[in-house]
Structure 1
Amino acid sequence: MRRQTTTSGVNPAGSSRDLRLDPLSLPVSFAARDSRADGGVRQIELHRERVILRRAVHGMRMAINVRVSEFIGVAVRDTAEGRALVLLHRDPSLAIPLLVTEDAGERAAARQIWSEILALPQLADDKRDPAPRRRRSNAIRERRPSFLVRRRSGDLLNPAAIYRGEHEIIARN
């Protein structure tokens, strides 16, 4: 039997308790915020080998079963609740919060434990500035358009370029 909250949120109204999962007591089942799901909540079951996400979208209930090995790693991210330790997936909608706290020491210790238990790497913090965008080289940018390829480029400042051999080029209107 799952525990249900009185409101549609993760914690009851007025609760100041942050999300803290114990990595040593797996499997664990909990509710997390999901902006796309009906009611804004999804149910998550976290095991050592797999994760099951249950949610309803537009009245359609679904259960998504994902292997833990398919996750990228454990990272610290900014969320609506604050700084959170997250089990990160390539699909951002499958990311799972593990711990929400402002205490950096607690996050670092939990990050180490979660990384060891799930056998996933610890990813870099996203608080750093992103790298500048790389300018892409475009081979076509420096080409002449196809209709100009057939024409020879001329030099208007050099009158000798007008004459070709002994014949003068005459343009008629």
Structure 2
Amino acid sequence: MRRQTATSGINPAGSSRALRLDPFSLPISFHAHDARADGFVRQVELDRERVVLRRAVRGMNMALRLRVSDFLGVALRSVKDGRMLMLAHRDPSLNIPLCVTADDDEIAVAWQVWSDIFALPMLQDAAREPAPRRRRRNAIRARRPKFLVRRRAGDLRSPAMIYRDEREIIARN
């Protein structure tokens, strides 16, 4: 297996030329545009099972390791240069460009191939708002102590039992 890099004939994402990554030569390593990163560039390592995004933000280097199954699918999106094929994530800042071209036949074939390789669905448009944040699983723990969560709450609707006119056993000293 050989590795593709930005200097091996593959145009980096965000360049003025069309981007075409070869899906049959995975793993691929290339540079993509990132609006939040220093220098507006991030390094992407793409494999069949995982994606590694490396970038520096305010001088702090970071690497995000994501499974391919964490992505929503392979999405087709219209851009000013033509059409863009991307690996769509729930967080739009983690989308990964795969192919940018104006040729409809080429983009249709690439869309099917990338979808088959990653075993992800083909999505029509990835230009949408991020999904709302999921509810935390332990939200109740912040409200009640653990032993109170285990205890069964009393029933306030029924009155407490009161015993009158009966002999009681009282322990006296």
Structures share a fold, TM > 0.5? Answer: yes
- Across the aligned residues of Structure 1 and Structure 2, the Cα RMSD in angstroms comes to 2.8
Alignment of 1:80-119 (within 5 A): 82-119=82-119
Tell me the TM-score normalized by structure 2: 0.63
Match of 2:73 in 1: 73
Q: Which runs of 5+ in 2 are unaligned?
A: 129-173
Change beyond 3 A, Cα 1:37–1:120: same
8 Å CA contact retained: 1:88, 1:95: yes
Tell me the TM-score normalized by structure 1: 0.63
Query: For the residues of structure 2 that align with 1:114 and 1:4, how far apart are their CA atoms?
Result: 20
Q: Which runs of 5+ in 1 are unaligned?
A: 131-173
Match of 1:28 in 2: 28
8 Å CA contact retained: 2:13, 2:97: no
Counterpart residue type for residue 45 of structure 2: E
Alignment of 1:81-160 (within 5 A): 82-125=82-125
SS at match of 2:115: helix
8 Å CA contact retained: 1:48, 1:68: yes
User: What percentage of aligned pairs have identical amino acids?
Assistant: 60
Query: For the residues of structure 1 that align with 2:13 and 2:117, how far apart are their CA atoms?
Result: 26
SS at match of 1:110: helix
Counterpart residue type for residue 45 of structure 1: E
Number of residues of Structure 1 aligned to a counterpart in Structure 2: 123
Query: For the residues of structure 2 that align with 1:80 and 1:37, how far apart are their CA atoms?
Result: 23
Change beyond 3 A, Cα 1:72–1:28: same
Runs of 4 or more, structure 1, over 2 Å off, are 1-5, 9-12, 78-83
Larger Cα Rg: Structure 1 or Structure 2? 1
Change beyond 3 A, Cα 1:30–1:81: farther
SS at match of 2:62: strand
